Amino acid sequence: MAKTDINNYVDNETRNIYNSVALNESIEKKYGLTKEILEEISKDKNEPKWVLDIRLKALDTFFKMEDPDWGPDISYLDLSKLATYVKPVEGQVRNWEDVPEDIRDIFDKLGIPESEKKALAGSGAQFDSEVVYHNLTEDLKKQGIIYTSFDEGLRDYPELVKKYFSKAVPINDHKYIALHYALFSGGSFVYIPKNAKLDRPLQSYFRLNAPGAGQFEHTLIIVDEGADLQFIEGCSAPGYNELNLHAGCVELFVEKNASLRFSTIENWSKNMLNLNTKKCFVGENGKIEWIMGSFGSKVSMLYPLSVLNGEGAKVEFTNISFAGKGQNLDTGLKIIHNAPRTSSIVNAKSISKDGGICTFRSNVHVKKNAPKSKLSLSCESLMLDSISRSDTIPVDTIETDDVTFAHEAKIGKISDQAIFYLMSRGLSEEEAKALIVRGFAEPIAKAFPVEYAVEMNRLIDLELEGSIG
Amino acid sequence: MMKYRLNKLPVKTTNNFKINDLEIELDIPKINILSEYVITDNKDIIINKKIVNKKLTTKIDLEFDKYLDVEITIPKNKIITDTVCINYGFSKDEVLISKITFNYEENSSCNFVISYNSSDDNSHFNHLYEVVKMGNGSNGNITILNNMNDNSYNFMGIESLNNELSNLTHNIIDLTGMVRVYNVYSDLKYKAINNLNNIYIGKNDSIIDMNYYLKNSGEESTNTMRVEGSITDKCVKNFRGTIDFIKGCSNSIGDENENCVLLSDTCRSRSLPQLLCGEENVVGAHGVSSGKVDLEKLFYIMSRGYSRKEAEKLILLANFNSILNSIPDSDVRDSILNIIEKSI
């Protein structure tokens, strides 16, 4: 994309685009969490019995499990008040023109159709509980690449979906993944066949429009042997006074010699509980790259897990969290080295301001059968005032002597020397601070595809407005 | 045998990470003191010893109803240059539950070495509750040497209140034992300095569990934590280090480092170097490294005619040296170095 195009893309962005609301009433809303509701959802979607069985088992598991007794307080979440299923339109379309106008307007403002035309190989858009749009270019379809909504995947490729579904993330992983499996709706299904390479990314965008509702999309991606994929996930919601819940699930399978770059910009509104679960299995010499920017939500609890199962498998994890007033972003990662010569590189940064809380929580486990593994973990936290918090809670377990492992973390404020230097070059104190914050985030922004790096920088600017810069 | 959950983290994290506490089965024996602490004569310090029939508990979370109480006071403005040694020799089926309180009065200074030894291979049980009250401007250096036998149980709960401008260094040298559980809690006031240094050597089926919580409460306070160790055989080592910057402790420093050398592929090292920060104007850092002995160093030393074992020993001793240098008395340092050499 040419530079001028990027600038246009940015110029059109303001906070208002994230706060746009579709005025049309959804055509169907379900409240509560009962066996009957799940049976209705399953019947509406015309699902096979094995899927309903999973939903019912998950419901049972959800009621048996306890809320986490660590991390941010989420005890105020009252599921009885939450719309657990919200259907915005009848059916899914392949042309943006066929999407209802008010919904299309929102995606237009978010730049989704524009991005699709310019930079994407395929694009999907979910509105509340259902996918309203999904498309993949014809040349990729001919290569055998599958990119559909999850419901379509289940209908058209049942054996493939059944083989992988809930195999990475089991339904009893934690209480809110059990809730997810009971209520899942929407999401994407991607299959990249052996040795297929995509020169442009696929993107799924998730929009939670309804107030007091939950979104439980399920994303399942299989990158077969020798194939490459870049996948971008975007999320946003307008701000309400009522609590919204996002309990999505992402299951990724990266097979032998395959690679997947999974980028996410989470820009949920600040009334959102974001209890998302992501997990990736990586085969021999495969590679998963997580690139994440967490900006929105009231509370986030998100720790993507990479299981390096094949010899020579790699994970690179790059993350930035930005917590402002009233936000508690508890993010991090989990990595299991489960084969020889596996490697992991982690670069996590966080910024907290105006009373925001950032917590980096991780668990890295090198198993006995993973000799000659290499790990390098780095976390840096920047606090912009003294009413905020920044905690780093990393757990490292090593079960083999033949490993190279280093973990370092730093917490601090903006250096006075750096501010002094920039001010001596003619910048005001506020400009100097803002420049330093952008510089702090720069290595992470660079890892995003260029359009999203620009969006991320714009989000940082929006977050800094009114505090510094 | 009873199941216990000991040495809990100050701030709980995910249960799946299995680091919130130490789950262990123990048979807690009854107090059975056969000898006494032998303390170097020093007319400048005040020592009181007595048996107390009261409940004793520490942040480790074991509870006893009787203990040997030792209270040592270093009077105001008294600078004591000779190291005061406090020794306890275990024999037979001895069970020592004790509390040692160090009262450093204002501007006083004194260095102590507390050492525990075994004269036989019986299973001994040692539970120490050490309380350090650092008066304003006081200066202390306390070395604790665990040199009991491989069948012993050692529990140490240490708490210090570091008042303004005080400077306290703890050196914990943990060399032997079946189960070794350490808990250190420090709270620092204005311009106080607290250095926690720890060497551990783990072998056989031993369990080493460390839970250190250092709090910067006052402005311009400094907490450092340096932990160096090696484990082999089926040893399990858990290290939990927390540095907590409390709101208002501006211009404070907190730095923790742990380096664990693994000498077998059957041992397990688990680390949690935690940084909690509620204050903007601080410098906090942690680092953890684990792995086998550096191969380049090993090759270099072996090329000078040393065997692999000798070379490994030299590298470990070099790692430990920076901590041993924190012991001010060179005679004490040399004797501990000799004990470590034999222990590796």
Q: A397-415: per-residue pLDDT in tens?
A: 999 999 999 988 999 888 8
In DSSP notation, A254-310 reads E-TT-EEEEEEEEE--TTEEE--EEEEEE-TT-EEEEEEEE---SEEEE--EEEE-S
DSSP strand pairing (A122-127 vs A83-87): unpaired
All residues of chain A having their beta carbon less than 8 Å from the beta carbon of residue B277 are: 381, 383, 389-392, 411
Shortest distance, CA B1 to any CA of chain A (angstroms)? 28
Using an 8 Å CB-CB cutoff, list chain A residues near B19: 395
User: What pLDDT sits at residue A16?
Assistant: 56
pLDDT value of residue B98? 97
The strand pairing partners of A456, in sequence order, are: none
pLDDT reported for residue A74 = 94
Q: Which two tokens stand for residue A360?
A: 């980096």
Contact B285 A410 (CB under 8 A): yes
Q: Is B21 helix (H, G, I), strand (E, B) or coil?
A: coil
Q: Tell if the CB–CB gap between B270 and A397 is shorter than 8 Å.
A: yes
Of A368, A371, A383, the CB nearest to B280: A383
Q: Return d(Cα A21, Cα A11) in angstroms, integer.
A: 21
Do residue B273 and residue A409 have CB atoms under 8 angstroms apart?
A: yes
List of chain B residues whose C-beta atoms are within 8 Å of the C-beta of residue A71 = 13-14
User: Alpha-carbon distance B295 to A104, whole Å?
Assistant: 61
Alpha carbon distance B192, B216 (integer Å): 9
Whether A27 has a pLDDT exceeding 80, the answer reads no
What the block records as the tokens of B68 is: 């040997």
CA A237 to chain centre: 14
Per-residue pLDDT at B344: 82
Residues in A closer than 8 angstroms to B274, CB to CB, are 391-394
Distances (CA, A) of B59 to B10, B246, B291: 10, 20, 30
Question: Are A398 and B15 in contact (CB < 8 Å)?
Answer: no
**Which residue of A368, A401, A412 is in closest CB contact with B282?**
A412
Amino acid letter, residue A38: L
Q: What pLDDT, on a 0 to 100 scale, did the predictor assign at position A196?
A: 96
Judged by CB atoms closer than 8 Å, whether chains meet at B288 and A69 is answered as: no
Parallel/antiparallel/unpaired status of strands A403-412 and B282-291: antiparallel
Q: Residue A200 to residues A159, A232, B194: CA-CA distances in angstroms? A: 28, 10, 55
Which residue of A333, A337, A360, A392 to mutate against B (max B Cβ within 10 Å)?
Answer: A392
Q: Which residues of B touch A406 (CB under 8 A)?
A: 287-289
Distance between B166 CA and the closest CA of chain A, angstroms: 24
- Which residues in A lie closer than 8 A to residue B271 (C-beta atoms)? 395-397, 407
Rounded Cα gap, residues A12 and B252, in angstroms: 44
Q: Find the residue in B nearest to A382 (Cα).
A: B280
Percentage of residues of chain A with pLDDT beyond 90: 58
* pLDDT per position as a tens digit, B279-310: 999 999 999 998 888 888 899 999 999 999 89
Taking only the tens place, the pLDDT of each residue in A178-191 is: 999 999 999 999 99
**Chain A interface, Cβ < 8 Å to B:** 68-71, 361, 363, 368, 371, 381, 383-413
The answer to whether residue A214 scores a pLDDT higher than 50 is yes
Q: Which residues of B touch A384 (CB under 8 A)?
A: 280
CA distance A54 to chain B (A): 24
* Residue A12 confidence class, pLDDT cut points 50, 70, 90: very low
> Residue A456: in which H helix or E strand, if any?
helix A450-464
The model's pLDDT over B83-129, given as tens digits with 9 standing for 90+, comes to 999 999 999 889 999 999 999 999 999 999 999 999 999 999 999 99
Q: Are residues A391 and B11, on separate chains, in Cβ contact within 8 Å?
A: yes
pLDDT tens string A301-313: 999 999 999 999 9
Nearest-CA distance from B84 to chain A in Å?
A: 38
Domain boundaries, chain B: 2-293
What confidence score (pLDDT) does residue A112 get? 72
Q: Which residue of B has its CA nearest to A416?
A: B281
Pairing of strands B38-39, B252-262: unpaired
Q: Which residues of B are less than 8 Å from A391 in CB distance?
A: 11, 274-277
More confident residue, A466 or A272: A272
Q: A94 phi and psi, to 5 degrees?
A: -115, 0
| Mean pLDDT score, B158-183 | 97
**Measured between beta carbons, which residues in chain B are less than 8 angstroms from residue A69?**
12, 15
- Tens digits of per-residue pLDDT, A160-177? 999 999 999 999 999 999
Give the residue with greater pLDDT, A182 vs B343. A182
What pLDDT, on a 0 to 100 scale, did the predictor assign at position A305?
98
A8 pLDDT higher than 50: no
Average pLDDT score over chain A: 87
Distance from C-alpha of A36 to C-alpha of A179, rounded to nearest angstrom: 15
Task: Please give the average per-residue pLDDT across A128-133, as a whole number.
Answer: 82
Question: End-to-end alpha-carbon separation of chain A, Å?
Answer: 28
Cβ <8 Å between A403 and B290:
yes
Residues A395, A411: Cα–Cα separation, whole Å? 17
Q: What is the pLDDT of residue A91?
A: 67
Instruction: Measure in Å the smallest separation between the Cα of B279 and chain A Cα atoms.
Output: 5
Nearest CA to A318 out of A329, A333, A339 is that of A333
- Interface of B to A at Cβ within 8 Å reads 11-17, 19-20, 245, 247-248, 250, 260, 262-292
CB-nearest to A391 from B268, B275, B281 is B275
Q: Number of Cβ pairs closer than 8 Å across A and B?
A: 139
Q: Would you state the torsion angle of the CA atoms of residues B115, B119, B125, B131, taken in this order, to the nearest 10 degrees?
A: -10
Q: Inform me whether the pLDDT recorded for A463 exceeds 50.
A: yes
Q: Quick check: B286 and A408 CB within 8 A?
A: yes
Q: Which residues of B are less than 8 Å from A402 in CB distance?
A: 265, 291-292
- Which of B5, B8, B13 to mutate to test binding with chain A, by most A CBs within 10 Å of its CB? B13
Sign for the pseudo-dihedral over CA of A420, A425, A427, A431: negative
Asked whether the beta carbons of residue A386 and residue B281 sit closer than 8 angstroms, the reply is: yes
Residue of B nearest to A408 (CA): B287
Q: Would you call B291 and A408 a contact, using CB atoms and an 8 Å cutoff?
A: no
Nearest-Cα distance to chain B for A171, in Å, is 15
- Nearest Cα to A82, choosing from A276, A236, A219, A247? A247
First to last CA, chain B: 31
CA distance A26 to A464: 35
Nearest neighbour of B288 by CB, restricted to A381, A388, A396: A396
**Residue B342 — very low, low, confident or very high, per pLDDT cuts 50/70/90?**
confident
For residue range B217-248, list pLDDT tens digits in order.
Answer: 999 999 999 999 999 999 999 999 999 999 99
Q: Which of A358, A401, A402 is the mutation pick for testing B, counting most B CBs within 10 A?
A: A401
Hey, of B12, B17, B270, B289, which one would you mutate to test binding to chain A, going by the most A CBs within 10 A of its CB? B17
SS (H, E, C) A397-425: EECCCCEEEEEEEEEECCCHHHHHHHHHC
Question: Which residue from A minimizes the CA distance to B289?
Answer: A406
- Among the ranges given (A99-103, A202-206, A372-376), the one the predictor scored with the smallest mean pLDDT: A99-103
Q: Which residue has the higher pLDDT, A454 or B18?
A: B18
| CA B317 – CA B310 distance, rounded (Å) | 10
What DSSP line would sit under A137-197, residue for residue?
Answer: -HHHHHTT-EEEEHHHHHHH-HHHHHHHTTTSS-TTSSHHHHHHHHH----EEEEE-TT-B
pLDDT above 90 covers what percent of chain B? 90
d(CA A317, CA A304): 9
In this structure, what DSSP letter does residue B148 have?
Answer: -
